[in-house]
Amino acid sequence: MSGGDTAARPAAPTAERLEAALAPYLRAGCLLAVSGGPDSTALMHAAAAAPHAGLAVATVDHGLRPEARAEAETVARQADTLGLPHRILAWAGPHPRSGIQAAARAARYRLLAEHAAEIGAAFLLTAHTLDDQAETVLMRLARGSGPAGLAGMRPERNLGPGLVLARPLLAFPKADLVAWCEGRGIAYLRDPSNADERFARARLRRLRPLLEGEGLTAERLARLAERAARDDDALREIAQDALGRLAAEDARRLDGRALARLPAAVALRVLDLALTQAGGGEGRLERLERLLAEILPALAAGARLRRTFRGLLVAVDAGGTIRLAPAPPRRAAGPPELLGKG
């Protein structure tokens, strides 16, 4: 635990901004995701102090660090002093050996969403900050993401029927939330995995001062995310309209020649939307770009093409129609004793 320093920067502007950022959500029932770090501790205290229609708090114990249970209990005690119900959600079952952070994250959202649904919360609120957004954008840049990825974390996302994940603190620098807690003598935890350089996020965090020296500040990265989100949303809307024209009767049957006349950014999204509507899963941008790069010459040459993609069969016929259908099951592998030989 740290905190308790009362000689801090004036906290009034942050306090007002916090109240304004939370107000639209607090009119409905909210579940607060609180790890006990400064960001989510600020979220919990600020929400508890504001007028609200019903609040509950949950902490996920991922079972990855021995101290996690005690930390979750510390959050439970703080919630109790604020008069808020608290639940510790344990990640049970086998933990994978690789990709542990991604698996922990998926488990965390699943447990939180299940609990939110159980208690009838309309919003699940997390305390992601401007710094988290900047790190997300940097990670996506490093992966070569397109505009949808560079849009970073969206302020709101549907998690299921009647449940929205909201990130009301995305515009707040972490330093402001730390100062807000310290200015009020509110104690918070430090998560040692935040500094664990086995994880890309922590390694990028170490680079931040260097990048800021070159002007690549958290504010600028967050602004890039906002602009990418705005432009990506516009392109998606245009693509949705175009899909309505290209596949007037059925999204599984597209007019390929009309697709070929669209700007590539729109054509890619039309294809992506059509694949999703036809039941295809999510996929990486590079693979979608490669698919379009194969489809376009086939259309131009009036040639036939068949590709399996995201669990669907994508077939271009000589007349320029693109059909999407569930891919036939893969041919069964040979008998087990023949596998792995040769």
Ligand X SMILES: Nc1ncnc2c1ncn2[C@@H]1O[C@H](COP(=O)(O)OP(=O)(O)OP(=O)(O)O)[C@@H](O)[C@H]1O
| Positions that interact with ligand X (CB under 6 A) | 33-35, 39-40, 59-60, 105, 108, 126-128, 132
Which residue is listed with tokens 């919360």?
121
38 is in an annotated binding site: yes
* Least distance between ligand X and beta carbon 34 (Å): 6
Half-sphere exposure of 321 (CA within 13 A, CB side): 10
* Least distance between ligand X and beta carbon 134 (Å): 12
* Least distance between ligand X and beta carbon 291 (Å): 28
Q: Which tokens sit at 235?
A: 């392109």
Q: Which tokens sit at 22?
A: 């939370």
Phi, psi of 205 (to 5 degrees): -60, -40
C-alpha to C-alpha distance for 184 and 299, rounded to whole angstroms: 65
C-alpha to C-alpha distance for 224 and 293, rounded to whole angstroms: 28
* Least distance between ligand X and beta carbon 231 (Å): 22
39 is in an annotated binding site: yes
* Burial class of residue 102 in the structure, from the number of CB atoms within 10 Å of its CB (0-12 exposed, 13-18 middle, 19+ buried): exposed
Question: Which of residues 60 and 216 has its CB atom nearest to ligand X in the complex?
Answer: 60
* Least distance between ligand X and beta carbon 55 (Å): 14
Question: Which of residues 63 and 146 has its CB atom nearest to ligand X in the complex?
Answer: 63
320 is in an annotated binding site: no
Question: Which of residues 89 and 254 has its CB atom nearest to ligand X in the complex?
Answer: 89
Question: Which of residues 40 and 78 has its CB atom nearest to ligand X in the complex?
Answer: 40
* Least distance between ligand X and beta carbon 108 (Å): 6
Question: Which of residues 103 and 238 has its CB atom nearest to ligand X in the complex?
Answer: 103
Distances (CA, A) of 108 to 4, 102, 148, 160: 29, 10, 23, 15
- Separation of CA 15 from chain center: 26
DSSP code of residue 291: H
Question: Which of residues 130 and 275 has its CB atom nearest to ligand X in the complex?
Answer: 130
* Burial class of residue 82 in the structure, from the number of CB atoms within 10 Å of its CB (0-12 exposed, 13-18 middle, 19+ buried): middle
Q: Which residues are documented as binding site for ATP?
A: 35-40
Q: Which residues are documented as binding site?
A: 35-40
